[in-house]
Structure 1
Amino acid sequence: MFLRKNSAFVSSDHQDHLQKLTPEEYFEFIIDIYELPADRTTQIYHQLSKELNITKEISVCFSNLSFGTKKKVQLIGAVLHDPPLLVCDEIFEGLDSQAVEWVKRLFTKRKHENKTTLFTTHIFQHALDIADQIYRLEGGCLFEEAHQ
């Protein structure tokens, strides 16, 4: 229970549990399981959907969405309960440039709110733009990158 309430995960490829839902059904599910205030949280996910340009897809079955839209839907679902720890696997993959900048702003805002965001990326510049600490995985070993 502690882990569920204090963390969220955005997966790059493990989305089978969402395939038969629409984004709106998924967000309503999040509202139910986290016992979030329905009216306020509904407003939030509608606003985030607008900001990420997925309002037309909110009633489309998840299995019919593009890879980038699926990533956006998962991210919105992950931040609805505002977890102290957010983990994102290859979050920038499949996103358009506007969404990439939106995610960078979100991660920076979370950092200023003393929340932790761990993310993987193959796009080193994105990590340089926003991360406090950067690690590189090579040959099964983890190396800390010099970063300012």
Structure 2
Amino acid sequence: MIEITNVNKSYTGVEKAVDNLNVVIPEGEIFGFLGPNGAGKTTSIKMITGILKPDSGSIKINGKDIVSQTVEAKKQFGFVPDTPNMFLRLKGIEYLNFMADIYGVPSDLRLERIESMSKRFSMTDALGDQIQSYSHGMRQKIVVMGALIHEPPVWILDEPMTGLDPKSSYVLKEMMKEHVQSNKTVFFSTHVLDVAERICDRVAIINKGKILFCGKMEEIKEHFKSNDSLEKMFLEMTEHE
């Protein structure tokens, strides 16, 4: 579960990048976080993951406060950032073992998980190569694998489909569905609105730091009195703002 209560963040001291954000994401839910560029999505995600500290308000991950219980809170989630360019000199297997070491994953379990995920993402033959030799999509896959190797109850995914081939995108979407079927949580930021429409249980639309809408697809269609696609309703809502 992710609980975001009255969260604010300003970089200038005047205009808020995030303005009084209130969202609760329970177990068993894929939650889509949508918004145009500059809407406050990345700032929100950086606060949820403890990279940035909110000016006010609180953020809890499975009951652990990200500011006052930082280490305990960070053990609860796996985070996939929007850019996968990290630890480029490490080999893929070295990076996965490094991530497993950080989270204290035992040797037998990490081997099992690395084997399973590398097969699903068709990465088995690439694990011995340096990450800097990988394509963008391969880097994205190794970062996803590293974030999930400790099987965290909460997944926080920022544009995770970027650069992925269709098969890998399908695999990741299936993994997200499997995860919430185990009564766990997926927080999912994306610009691909048709994907969000198909797989998310609820969505929030943020613009200029404020939540414009939060609810199920049926609720947003009822709100607009429309059967249009999420893309059309999103454009209408954000352009109006």
TM-score (norm 1): 0.90
SS at match of 2:202: coil
Deviations 1:26-54 (A, max 9, x none): 11112222221212211211221111011
Task: Tell me which amino acid in the other structure corresponds to 1:68.
Answer: G
* Residue aligning to 1:74: 143
Q: How far has the Cα of 1:14 moved from its partner?
A: 5.8
Regions of 4+ moved over 2 Å = 136-146
Alpha-carbon RMSD across the aligned residues, in angstroms, is 1.6
SS at match of 1:134: strand
Give me the whole-angstrom Cα distance separating, in 1, the residues matched to 2:84 and 2:136.
12
Give me the whole-angstrom Cα distance separating, in 2, the residues matched to 1:118 and 1:79.
14
Equivalent in 107, 115, 118 of residue 38 of structure 1:
107
SS at match of 1:81: coil
Q: As a proportion of its length, which structure holds more strand?
A: 2
1:66-105 correspondence runs (5 A): 66-105=135-174
Q: Which moved more, 1:39-48 or 1:65-74?
A: 39-48
SS at match of 1:136: strand
- Mind listing any 5+ residue stretches in structure 1 that lack a counterpart? none
Give me the whole-angstrom Cα distance separating, in 2, the residues matched to 1:27 and 1:46.
11
Give me the whole-angstrom Cα distance separating, in 2, the residues matched to 1:79 and 1:93.
17
- Mind listing any 5+ residue stretches in structure 2 that lack a counterpart? 1-70, 219-241
Q: As a proportion of its length, which structure holds more helix?
A: 1
TM-score (norm 2): 0.57
- Does 2:11 correspond to 1:11? no
Task: Tell me which amino acid in the other structure corresponds to 1:138.
Answer: N
- Does 2:183 correspond to 1:114? yes
Decide which structure has the larger Cα Rg and report it: 2
Deviations 1:60-102 (A, max 9, x none): 1112211111111111111111111111111111111111111
Deviations 1:11-38 (A, max 9, x none): 121633x212111001111222222121
Task: Tell me which amino acid in the other structure corresponds to 1:5.
Answer: K
Give me the whole-angstrom Cα distance separating, in 1, the residues matched to 2:160 and 2:185.
15
Give me the whole-angstrom Cα distance separating, in 1, the residues matched to 2:201 and 2:91.
35
Give me the whole-angstrom Cα distance separating, in 2, the residues matched to 1:104 and 1:133.
15
Deviations 1:90-144 (A, max 9, x none): 1111111111111111111111112111111111111112111112233443322
Task: Tell me which amino acid in the other structure corresponds to 1:6.
Answer: Q
The number of equivalent residue pairs is: 147
